[in-house]
């Protein structure tokens, strides 16, 4: 019995150390792509959420800086790559309905973007995807709605950065 437990511990420790060996150090990106331009996202959603496109652009830029080897280039003309994104839709719909009175008790905010990542050096589209992030909140809570918008935005930008690193 002790030997089995000892082997499990060795296996768990080995997995722990092995998991640290894998990283996104730029291996998934083309070797010639060192810089990226991220113009402000477009907004075709008509959601009326103030500063949504600016916030999505800012969070994406921050995550690209923190999680990739890419250098942010303000001038698209000299960048090696570019992310172009448009907010396609924002929905705010019931997600949980009370059984007793059939009224919504929770709503779900869903933010959907259409994103394209281009290699400007080789003139090639690396990916074009539709991505969505969502979060639920208590009906009638403005603070909850705002927090849900932030959480859906964070989820969405995580998906976008993951696509940049490995999705093509």
Nearest-10 Cα torsion for 122, 126, 128, 134: -140
More confident residue, 97 or 17: 97
pLDDT bracket for residue 104 (50, 70, 90): confident
Say whether pLDDT at 4 is over 50.
no
Q: For residue range 32-54, what is the model confidence (pLDDT) as tens digits?
A: 999 999 999 999 999 999 999 99
Angle ∠(158,160,161) on CA atoms, nearest 5 = 65
Longest Cα–Cα distance in the chain: 65
- Over residues 93-116, the mean pLDDT reads 89
d(CA 4, CA 144): 48
CATH of 26-166, picked from 3.30.160.150, 1.10.1200.10, 3.30.1600.10, 3.40.1180.10, is 3.30.160.150
Q: What's the pTM value of the predicted model, to 2 decimals? A: 0.79
- Lowest pLDDT segment from 23-32, 57-66, 72-81, 142-151: 23-32
Q: How far apart are CA 148 and CA 93, in angstroms?
A: 12
* Neighbouring residues of 26: CB distance < 8 A, sequence distance ≥ 6: 68, 69, 70
Mean pLDDT of all residues in 99-114: 89
Mean pLDDT to the nearest integer, 85-94: 96
**What share of the chain has pLDDT > 70, as a percent?**
82
Strand 124-138, strand 71-72: pairing = unpaired
Write the DSSP string, the chain.
-HHHHHHHHHHHHHHHHHHTT---SSTTS-TT--EEE-PPPEE-S----TTHHHHHHHHHHHHHHHHSSPEE-S-GGG-SEEEEEEEEEEEEEEEEE-TTT--EEEEEEEEEEEEEEEETTTTEEEEEEEEEEEEEEETT-HHHHHHHHHHHHHHHHHHHHHHHHH--
Taking residues 122-129, what's their average pLDDT?
A: 94
What's the start-to-end Cα distance of the chain, in Å? 47
For the chain, what are the domain ranges? 26-166
């Amino acid at each position: 019995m002790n030997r089995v437990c000892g082997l499990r511990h060795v296996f768990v420790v080995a997995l722990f150390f092995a998991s640290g060996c894998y990283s996104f150090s730029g291996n998934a990106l083309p070797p010639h792509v060192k810089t990226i331009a991220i113009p402000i996202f477009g907004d075709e959603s008509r959601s009326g959420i103030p500063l949504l496109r600016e916030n999505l652009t800012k969070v994406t830029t921050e995550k690209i800086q923190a999680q990739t080897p890419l250098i942010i280039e303000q001038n698209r003309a000299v960048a090696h790559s570019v992310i172009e994104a448009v907010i396609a839709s924002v929905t705010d719909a019931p997600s949980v309905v009370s059984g007793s009175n059939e009224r919504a008790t929770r709503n779900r905010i869903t933010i959907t973007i259409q994103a394209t990542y281009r290699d400007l050096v080789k003139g090639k589209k690396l990916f074009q995807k539709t991505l969505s992030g969502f979060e639920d909140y208590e009906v009638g809570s403005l603070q909850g709605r705002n927090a849900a918008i932030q959480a859906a935005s964070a989820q969405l930008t995580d998906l976008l950065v993951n696509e940049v690193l490995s999705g093509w």
